[in-house]
Amino acid sequence: MATPELDEITELRAAPLEPWQVVVWNDPVNLMSYVVRVFRTYFGYSSDHATSLMLAVHHEGRAIVATGPRETMEVHAQAMHDYGLWATVRKASE
Amino acid sequence: MNPAGISTSLVRLEGIRLAQLVGEFRELLATADEADEAINRLTPNPYPDDANAAREFADGTRTDLLDRRGADALTVHEALAEFRIVGDEISEEEALRVQDLVVAPQDVDAWLRTLNAIRLVIASRLEIDGEDDHDPDDPRYGVYDWLGYRLELLIQAAEDAETR
């Protein structure tokens, strides 16, 4: 019988990590300065990067603000929801 | 960030109105009513195309999210203690007296999240869906716009404090 540790390793090998994304959607309520601040302070993005993401949300209706493992993306989405931003999680391939 | 926090001045009437709104917001959070559009706006569904994942996410996170919102609102509620009045109306002179409000650095996010959340609740009640949804004759828009102004000032003050 395999040890639990070995089981875990096998499972990781069987399912290679597929990237997921956090998408923030436009809404007419959140202030631009607020959205930039959230992207800057939460993700640690530069002012320029945070501003371009905000403008993408505003003009294109949405922006991908983070990419990585699903669990991490769910944590980020929760943080965005804490700030009142409308965030969804999806597979990068979708 | 300045260790002393950020300071903003407002007239007493504003502080009193803000304290009332935060009180109403805390009552709304306490209901955690799943049928309430405003509560739903505060707890968005990150999986609109996957009902199972959506349910799993909501089951695992919704209560915690509302608890964190409640903790944020409590921070703001406590900071506004001196603006909570009961009973008698105040004089015009008292209402227009300018007062300083100091927000500690560790409380800035709680303030921003709470003011923004109250705006989201009002927007939900007003059914604001687009950039141009505005009715100058509806006094609730006045509260909505004023909160936006206050939020903007707080953001500016927070950014100024960081670069000082």
For the stretch B52-70, pLDDT in tens is 999 999 999 999 999 999 9
pLDDT of residue A17: 74
Nearest-angstrom CA–CA distance, B40 and A36:
23
DSSP E strand boundaries for chain A:
20-25, 62-68, 86-91
Question: pLDDT tens digit string along A13-72?
Answer: 556 678 999 999 999 999 999 999 999 999 999 999 999 999 999 999 999 999 999 999
Domains and CATH numbers, chain A: 17-91 (3.30.1390.10)
String of b and e for B77-101 (b: at least 16 CB within 10 Å)?
A: bebbeebeeeeeeeeeeeeeeeeeb
Which among A33, A41, A81 has CB closest to B65? A81
Residue B56, in any domain of the structure: yes
- pTM (predicted TM-score): 0.89
Confidence of residue B132 (pLDDT cuts 50, 70, 90): confident
Cα dihedral B153, A48, B131, B28, rounded to 10, equals: -60
- Residue B6 inside a domain? The answer is no
- Cα separations in angstroms, A59 against A50, A83, B97, B127: 14, 20, 41, 21
Task: Say what the pLDDT of residue B130 is.
Answer: 76
**What's the CA gap between A84 and B103, in Å, rounded?**
20
Cα separation, B140 vs B119, whole angstroms: 11
Q: Give the model's pLDDT for residue A94.
A: 76
| Residue B112 contacts residue A34 (beta carbons within 8 Å) | yes
Computed on alpha carbons and rounded to an integer, the radius of gyration of chain A in Å comes to 17
Q: Which residue has the higher pLDDT, B119 or B131?
A: B119
Interface contact B155-A33, CB threshold 8 A: yes
- B93 pLDDT more than 60: yes
pLDDT of A12 > 60? The answer is no
In a domain, B78, yes or no: yes
Query: What's the confidence (pLDDT) of residue B129?
Result: 79
Asked if the C-beta of B123 comes within 8 angstroms of chain A's C-beta atoms, the answer is: yes
Range of the domain at B96: 13-163
| Interchain contact B25–A (C-beta under 8 A) | no
User: ipTM of this predicted complex?
Assistant: 0.91
Contact between residue A86 and residue B43 where contact means Cβ atoms under 8 Å apart: no
> What total of structural domains would you count in chain B?
1
Report whether pLDDT(B85) > 90: no
Q: Which of A27, A35, A23 shows the shortest CA–CA distance to B112?
A: A35
Q: Does residue B5 form part of some domain? A: no
Residue A29 in contact with partner chain B when CB distance is under 8 A: yes
Q: Is residue B7 part of a domain?
A: no
